[in-house]
Structure 1
Amino acid sequence: MGLQAAEPRPIRKLTVALRITLIVDLVFVVLCAIGYGLHALAASQLSPDDYVTPFYAFEGSGLADLVLMWSGLVLIPVGLVAGFLALKWSYRSTRNAHVFARGLENTPKWAIWWWFIPFACLFKPYAVISEVWRSAIEPDRWKGLKDPTLLRWWWGAHLAAGFGAMIGSAFERSATTAGQVMVHDLISLVAMVIQIGSTLLYLRVIGRIEPLQTALIAQGRRRPQDTGAPSWAP
């Protein structure tokens, strides 16, 4: 039993806004990755046992610190806007999915809340987007479809980037030598590169789903009434 059917709302403009914000975010993530690379290079010029920390400038780290500081400052507001738009996109696309198909397990509100619940955030947001995508491909028989490979790659990259950032943060708090700072920088650099890949994959995911839902809206698609009758019945 799904939510009560309502009029679907187009997601094209929302998708464009999300795409633009993510591209801006991507530019500064790339700059941040460059900053970590420069910082690691500067740390490598010191003796591995020299006392330095990631929080204070040391010889040769000036440019890297500048790049990291300004890219980090911009990433905070841009990331917040991108996160808000992504949640709104997830909510609206899930709401539309309930109009197109029956039997979806995740409601529009839970499409948002799953992101904030420990442990569940590791797999439930993926399940939400999976339902949205499959129900847009084949609304009547979406449960029989396999998850798109692109979706799996995106979610794997998303989780890897998150775990990489957590590991980098742990190293950052404990690093007290040039060698440890360099390890932290390299871990953070790898996490940023994976995040870049995750964002590019996510752009493709929303780019695939939006035209499918737009086409269903144009067709006037509505799910069959919850009467127990087969989907092909008149």
Structure 2
Amino acid sequence: MLGNGVRGVLAAFVLLTLAVVGVMFHGLQLLQQGIDAGISTGLQDELASAGRLQLNLFRLQLVLMLACYAWAGCWIYRVACNVRALGAKGLDDSPGWAVGWYAVPFMNLMRPMRAMTQVWLASRAPARWQKLGTPRLLAAWWAFWIAGNLSYWFVTQYLRPEHTFEGLHTQQMLLLCGQALNLVAAALFLLVVSRLTRMQMEEHERQQAAPAVRTSSLADAFVL
């Protein structure tokens, strides 16, 4: 099931990001020691070792992030198809565009959230989803997702190599803040995936248990 797959890679990403945050926090402590007490051979060796470990974890994190994007894209497409199979009408975006908006500059600031919100609401109540409000969980996830992406953009565009403990400390703090934002966004999206998958399964089971005689129904196309 796609839901289980995306939950698995998201959980792995969350755990890896926790490890990255721990290593970065240790690096901050070492840099603070350098600011307070000056450089020493032992401290230099510790910083070099922590830097190598942090770089390797960043590389592994990038690979896992790409896997998350691939799984999440497939899952979003599937739940967008499912909600139509459950009988929802009037959604603004096709399943393809529910995924595709993420790759469109500027439009990716709002349109993916709109598509996800409509899928969520239509999964909760396919016949009357337009009357429901945006759930707080989705709003929180999207806020952290945007903040994390903006943080990454700022780091890649404006941070330059530093050669002082003070400069490295500031740079590390900015990187750590970005990691924290991405960690929260990933954890919230894990909740979104779990709850939305459960909602669709429950709605599908409710429709299957309905006493009305059904002939050929769109709900037969439901897949998770």
Query: TM over 0.5: same fold?
Result: yes
Quick one: which amino acid aligns to residue 85 of structure 1?
Answer: W
In the alignment, what sits opposite 2:30? 42
CA contact (8 A) 1:171 1:180 kept: no
CA distance in 2, matches of 1:137, 1:197: 24
Quick one: which amino acid aligns to residue 16 of structure 2?
Answer: F
1:116 maps to which of 100, 103, 126: 103
Q: Is it true that 1:184 corresponds to 2:171 in the alignment?
A: yes
Q: Greater helix share, 1 or 2?
A: 2
In the alignment, what sits opposite 1:66? 52
Deviation string 1:161-202 (CA, Å, 9 cap, x unpaired) is: 112222233453253432121111011111111211111111
1:88 maps to which of 74, 85, 101: 74
In structure 2, the CA distance between the partners of 1:45 and 1:168, relative to structure 1 (3 Å rule), is farther
1:58 Cα offset (Å) = 4.9
In the alignment, what sits opposite 1:128? 115
2:20 maps to which of 32, 38, 51: 32
Q: Is it true that 1:193 corresponds to 2:157 in the alignment?
A: no
Which secondary structure state, in structure 2, belongs to the residue aligned with residue 146 of structure 1?
Answer: coil
Q: What's the TM-score once normalised by structure 1's chain length?
A: 0.80
Q: Which runs of structure 2 are paired with 1:79-228 in the superposition (5 Å)?
A: 79-99=65-85, 100-218=87-205, 219-220=207-208
Deviation string 1:8-47 (CA, Å, 9 cap, x unpaired) is: xxxxx21111111111111111122122222222222335
| Most deviating of 109-118 and 210-219 | 210-219
Runs of 5+ consecutive residues of structure 2 not aligned to the other structure: 211-216, 219-224
In structure 2, the CA distance between the partners of 1:176 and 1:63, relative to structure 1 (3 Å rule), is closer
In the alignment, what sits opposite 1:17? 5
Quick one: which amino acid aligns to residue 25 of structure 2?
Answer: G
* Identity within the alignment, %: 21
CA contact (8 A) 1:38 1:61 kept: no
CA RMSD, aligned part only?
A: 2.3
Runs of 5+ consecutive residues of structure 1 not aligned to the other structure: 1-12, 51-56, 224-234
CA distance in 2, matches of 1:70, 1:174: 18
Which secondary structure state, in structure 2, belongs to the residue aligned with residue 147 of structure 1?
Answer: coil
| Most deviating of 64-73 and 132-141 | 64-73
CA distance in 2, matches of 1:98, 1:167: 39
CA contact (8 A) 1:31 1:68 kept: no
CA distance in 2, matches of 1:126, 1:58: 46
1:129 Cα offset (Å) = 1.0
2:64 maps to which of 65, 73, 78: 78
Which secondary structure state, in structure 2, belongs to the residue aligned with residue 45 of structure 1?
Answer: helix
1:117 Cα offset (Å) = 0.5
Q: What's the TM-score once normalised by structure 2's chain length?
A: 0.83
CA contact (8 A) 1:136 1:212 kept: yes
CA distance in 2, matches of 1:67, 1:19: 26
